[in-house]
A = this chain, B = another copy of it.
Amino acid sequence: MIVVLAGGVGAARFLQGLVQVVPPAEVTVVVNTADDVEMHGLHVSPDVDSVLYHLAGLADEARGWGVRDETFGALELLARYGQETWFQLGDRDLATHIYRTLLLRKLSLSAATDRLRQGLGIACRILPMTDSRVQTYVQTPLGWLPFQEYFVKRRAADEVLGVQFRGAEVALAARGVCEAIGAADGVILAPSNPIVSLGPILALEDVRAALRDTRAPRVAISPIVGGATIKGPADRMLRGLGREVSAVGVAEGYRGLIDAFVLDSVDAALAPRVEALGIRPVVTDTIMRGRAEKAALARATLDALGLVPAP
């Protein structure tokens, strides 16, 4: 059993590789929900949806968000009704939010997520990190902004002075999360934004304890390559928070929680500094251009865990 702690697109692409080399039913994905947002009365879970759509083969991978062959008819009419439309919800995507919102009347977010997963025919287990409400806020020169306002509405253009995961101090992990980490053969921290994607998951005290205490080997993959992120504002966030903008900066944040750290070949020179943190560095190509590169990264990661991937 492999547990993957996941944010959005970076994690989703990594998972597309992982399910090529281990049976999907042996993968449990724990997904960040601190950037969930209510739009037009509907519950949107952007990171969960990225994982769902990528694993179901529905993702618009070129655009980097949402569903392929998408239309935006509903959004046009919502705009006419005076609704804000900076959060672009496509018509197919809306079906997910409509159905999730319906399910949430009677079910937990975990149970609702499981229904979505089933509907899309995904064999991996997908768990939201928590069934409680945890919300990421980003401190900018304008003040504290809800995450999606910082990220989507203002296009992550503001300087980041601080980050809070409101509610994380009292939230419990969703049922199954800590148990999965405790019983895993290996735990992977996906190449996601370490601050706002994996940060909220690791801010849950029981997840942190489970990760600290598990007997399973633990590995993280750097989302920072050559001092910059592949996608998203992780580099600017690290800088704003006074952390080193490098694979080493990411590894530092995971100290005590991981045994090994996968960093890109272009950062090979940083390996000794990772080692100095008490973390075993694994240098390989981490840029997931296509299907083959995704599988290769998954294999290297399993190898770093001491696990033997399928040939």
**A82 located at the interface, meaning its Cβ lies under 8 Å from any Cβ of chain B in the complex:** yes
Could you tell me which residues of chain A, from 89 to 116, have a CB within 8 Å of some CB in chain B?
90-92, 94-96, 98-99, 101-102, 105, 115-116
Known contacts A70-B73, A73-B70, A78 near B99 by CB under 8 Å? yes
**A119 located at the interface, meaning its Cβ lies under 8 Å from any Cβ of chain B in the complex:** yes
Q: How far is the CA of A120 from the CA of B76 in the complex (A)?
A: 12
Q: Are A82 and B119 neighbours in the complex by a CB distance under 8 Å?
A: yes
Instruction: Indicate with 1 or 0, residue by residue over A64-94, a CB within 8 angstroms of chain B CB atoms.
Output: 0001001101111110111100000011101
Q: Collect the chain B residues with CB atoms within 8 Å of residue A99's CB.
A: 40, 78, 81, 83
Q: Collect the chain B residues with CB atoms within 8 Å of residue A77's CB.
A: 67, 92, 95-96
Q: Are A78 and B98 neighbours in the complex by a CB distance under 8 Å?
A: yes
Q: How far is the CA of A81 from the CA of B76 in the complex (A)?
A: 24
**A42 located at the interface, meaning its Cβ lies under 8 Å from any Cβ of chain B in the complex:** yes
A266 CB to nearest B CB, Å: 39
- How many copies of the shown chain assemble into the complex? 2
Which chain B residue shows the least CB distance to A121? Answer: B80
Q: Are B92 and A76 neighbours in the complex by a CB distance under 8 Å?
A: yes
A311 CB to nearest B CB, Å: 33
Which chain B residue shows the least CB distance to A56? Answer: B80
Q: Are A105 and B41 neighbours in the complex by a CB distance under 8 Å?
A: yes
Known contacts A77-B95, A80-B120, A102 near B41 by CB under 8 Å? yes
A62 CB to nearest B CB, Å: 18
A115 CB to nearest B CB, Å: 7
Which chain B residue shows the least CB distance to A116? Answer: B81
Q: Are A73 and B91 neighbours in the complex by a CB distance under 8 Å?
A: yes
Known contacts A41-B102, A102-B40, A95 near B81 by CB under 8 Å? yes
Q: How far is the CA of A76 from the CA of B98 in the complex (A)?
A: 13
Q: How far is the CA of A82 from the CA of B103 in the complex (A)?
A: 12
Known contacts A74-B91, A74-B95, A74-B98, A81 near B119 by CB under 8 Å? yes
Q: How far is the CA of A172 from the CA of B270 in the complex (A)?
A: 75
A122 CB to nearest B CB, Å: 12
Could you tell me which residues of chain A, from 33 to 57, have a CB within 8 Å of some CB in chain B?
40-42
Q: Are B120 and A95 neighbours in the complex by a CB distance under 8 Å?
A: no
Q: Collect the chain B residues with CB atoms within 8 Å of residue A41's CB.
A: 98, 101-102, 105
Q: How far is the CA of A101 from the CA of B82 in the complex (A)?
A: 15
Q: Collect the chain B residues with CB atoms within 8 Å of residue A80's CB.
A: 119-120
Q: 3 shortest A-B CB distances, which residue pairs?
A: A41-B102, A77-B95, A73-B91
Residues of A within 8 A of B (CB): 40-42, 67, 70-71, 73-78, 80-83, 90-92, 94-96, 98-99, 101-102, 105, 115-116, 119-120
Mind listing 11 A-B residue pairs with CB under 8 Å?
A40-B98, A71-B71, A71-B91, A73-B73, A73-B95, A74-B91, A74-B94, A76-B92, A77-B96, A80-B120, A82-B119
